C-alpha cells in the first residue's frame, strides 16, 4: 500500500512570486546595460523545452536564468554569473539555492555590490531579507527604506512590497487603503503581481467589500500578462486546471507539474500520475521527480520502488533537489537490492548480447554456406558445360581430320591418274 499523500507545492520548488516579472533594467559593473523585459517563467519554459541554453544565454544574456540554473546546474550558474560580474544573480543563487547551500551573508554581500551598480532589484532583495530576517535581524524600518529607494528608481515591484507591508502592518499601522494605493500604483506600471494582490484584497474583503467576481477580473488580467501566481488564487480546482492547461498548451510545460500537484492535492491520483508522466516524457526534471514519487508510494500506479529510483536518478542527474530528497528517503536496503537487481540485469544484458552475437555469427555462417553451395553448384554446372564443349570440339576436330585425310587420298589418286 502507498503512503498517505502529503500536499505538493510550488513551481520548480521555488516561491512562485520569485518567478513572475523581471523587467530588469540595470547596469553591470562594466557599464553595459540590460534592457530586455522578459518573465522568468517565459525563459524557464523556453529553456526547458527545446531552446539550447547557450543560444538562450547569447540572446538574452544571463538575466532571468537564475531559477533554471539554481535547479539544474549551480556550478554553471556560478561560472556564468561570476564571469559576468552579475552580482544580483549571484545574490539570488546564494539566497535561494538548496543545491549549493543557502548563505544569506554571501547573498547580502552580492546584493550590496549590485546596488552599487544601480540595480533596483537588489534593493528589493535586501529589503526582503530585512523583512523576513534572513541572515539579519528583522528590521521593518530598514526594509521599508530599501523598498522606497527602489521605488524612486521606478521599480514597480517595490511598490508591491510596500503595499504588502501596509497590508500586513509590518513596521507601520495596518492600512488597507494605503496598501491598495501602492498596488494600484504598480498596476499603472503593468505589474501583474500587483493585480494579484488587488484580487486578493477583493477576495478576502480587506479594505473593500468581499467580491470574488471582482477578484476574478483582476486574476484574469494577471493571467493574460503571464502571471501564473494568480491561478493559485482561483477558488475551484476546475478553474485552476483550465488555466494551467491553457499555459501548458502554449509551451509552459512546467504547468503540467502544477496541474499534477492540484490533482494530487484533490486526491485524484490517476490524473496526477498522467500529468507527471507527460511532464517526465517531455524531459522536465520536476516531472521525473514527481513521477518517481508516485511509483515510490503507489499513488495512481502500482508501487514500484525500483522504477522510482530510476526516475529519481534521472532527475538528480539534471540537478533536481527535490528528487535528491525523495531518493534520500528510500531505505538503504531497497537501494542495495536495486543495485544488485541492476547488476543482475546488466549481466543478463551482456549474456543476451553475447548470445545475440553468436546467433548472428551462426546466421552469417549459414548464409555463407548457402552462398558457397550455390557457387559450387554453378561451378559444377560450368565445368559440365566446359566438358560438353570440349567433347564436341574433339569430335569436330576428329571429323575434320577424317575429311582432310579423305581429301588428300582423293587428291593423290587424281594426281596419279593425270601423270599416267
Over the stretch 47-82, which tens digit does the pLDDT of each residue have?
333 333 343 333 333 333 444 444 445 566 677 677
User: Quick check: 373 pLDDT over 80?
Assistant: yes
Q: How confident is the model at residue 41 (pLDDT cuts 50, 70, 90)?
A: very low
Greatest mean pLDDT range, 49-53, 90-94, 181-185: 181-185
Nearest to 121 by CA among 92, 83, 99: 92
User: Quick check: 225 pLDDT over 90?
Assistant: no
Q: How confident is the model at residue 177 (pLDDT cuts 50, 70, 90)?
A: very high
Structural domains of the chain sorted by starting position, each given as residue range(s) with its CATH number in brackets: 16-254 (1.25.40.10)
Helix (H) or strand (E) holding 6: none
Instruction: Specify the pLDDT at position 6.
Output: 58
pLDDT tens, residue by residue, 120-164: 989 999 999 999 999 999 999 999 999 999 999 999 999 999 999
Cell numbers at 139, concatenated? 528590521
What is the pLDDT of the chain when averaged over all its residues? 77
DSSP class of 16: G
CA 220 – CA 234 distance, rounded (Å): 9
Look at residue 39 and give its three-state secondary structure. Answer: strand
What average pLDDT does range 3-15 have in this prediction? 43
CA 148 – CA 24 distance, rounded (Å): 17
Q: Could you identify the residue written with the cell 543482475?
A: 344
Q: Could you identify the residue written with the cell 539544474?
A: 72
Cell numbers at 72, concatenated? 539544474
CA 126 – CA 134 distance, rounded (Å): 9
Q: How many CB atoms lie within 10 A of CB 32?
A: 10
Which of 293 and 262 is assigned the larger pLDDT?
293
Overall residue count recorded for the chain in this entry: 420
User: Quick check: 369 pLDDT over 70?
Assistant: yes
Amino acid at each position: 500500500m502507498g503512503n498517505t499523500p502529503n500536499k505538493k507545492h510550488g513551481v520548480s520548488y521555488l516561491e512562485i512570486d520569485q518567478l513572475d516579472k523581471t523587467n530588469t533594467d540595470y547596469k553591470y559593473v562594466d557599464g553595459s546595460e540590460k534592457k530586455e523585459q522578459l518573465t522568468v517563467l517565459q525563459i524557464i519554459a523556453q529553456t526547458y523545452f527545446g531552446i539550447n541554453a547557450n543560444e538562450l544565454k547569447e540572446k538574452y544574456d544571463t538575466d532571468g536564468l537564475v531559477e533554471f540554473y539554481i535547479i539544474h546546474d549551480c556550478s554553471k550558474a556560478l561560472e556564468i554569473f561570476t564571469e559576468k560580474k552579475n552580482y544580483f544573480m549571484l545574490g539570488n543563487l546564494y539566497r535561494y539555492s538548496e543545491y549549493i547551500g543557502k548563505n544569506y551573508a554571501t547573498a547580502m554581500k552580492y546584493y550590496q555590490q549590485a546596488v552599487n551598480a544601480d540595480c533596483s532589484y537588489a534593493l528589493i532583495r535586501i529589503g526582503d531579507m530585512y523583512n523576513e530576517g534572513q541572515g539579519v535581524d528583522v528590521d521593518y524600518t530598514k526594509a521599508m527604506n530599501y523598498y522606497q529607494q527602489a521605488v524612486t528608481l521606478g521599480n514597480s515591484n517595490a511598490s508591491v512590497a510596500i503595499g504588502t507591508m501596509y497590508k500586513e502592518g509590518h513596521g507601520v499601522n495596518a492600512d488597507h487603503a494605503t496598501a491598495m494605493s501602492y498596488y494600484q500604483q504598480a498596476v499603472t506600471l503593468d505589474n501583474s503581481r500587483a493585480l494579484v494582490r488587488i484580487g486578493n484584497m477583493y477576495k478576502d474583503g480587506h479594505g473593500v467589500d468581499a467580491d470574488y467576481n471582482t477578484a476574478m477580473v483582476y486574476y484574469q488580467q494577471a493571467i493574460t500578462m503571464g502571471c501564473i501566481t494568480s491561478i493559485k488564487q482561483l477558488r475551484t480546482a476546475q478553474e485552476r486546471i483550465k488555466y494551467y492547461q491553457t499555459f501548458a498548451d502554449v509551451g509552459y510545460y512546467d504547468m503540467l507539474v502544477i496541474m499534477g500537484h492540484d490533482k494530487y492535492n484533490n486526491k485524484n491520483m490517476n490524473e496526477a500520475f498522467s500529468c507527471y508522466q507527460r511532464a517526465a516524457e517531455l524531459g522536465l526534471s520536476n516531472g521525473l521527480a514527481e513521477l518517481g514519487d508516485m511509483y515510490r508510494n503507489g499513488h495512481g500506479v502500482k508501487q514500484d520502488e525500483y522504477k522510482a529510483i530510476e526516475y529519481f536518478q534521472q532527475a538528480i542527474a539534471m540537478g533536481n533537489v527535490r528528487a535528491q530528497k525523495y531518493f534520500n528517503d528510500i531505505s538503504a536496503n531497497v537501494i542495495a537490492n536495486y543495485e544488485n537487481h541492476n547488476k543482475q540485469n546488466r549481466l543478463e544484458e551482456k549474456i543476451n548480447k553475447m548470445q545475440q552475437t553468436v546467433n548472428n555469427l551462426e546466421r552469417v555462417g549459414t548464409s555463407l554456406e548457402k552462398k558457397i553451395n550455390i557457387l559450387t553448384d554453378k561451378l559444377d554446372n560450368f565445368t559440365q558445360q566446359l566438358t560438353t564443349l570440349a567433347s564436341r570440339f574433339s569430335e569436330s576436330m576428329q571429323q575434320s581430320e577424317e575429311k582432310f585425310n579423305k581429301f588428300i587420298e582423293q587428291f593423290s589418286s587424281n594426281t596419279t591418274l593425270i601423270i599416267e
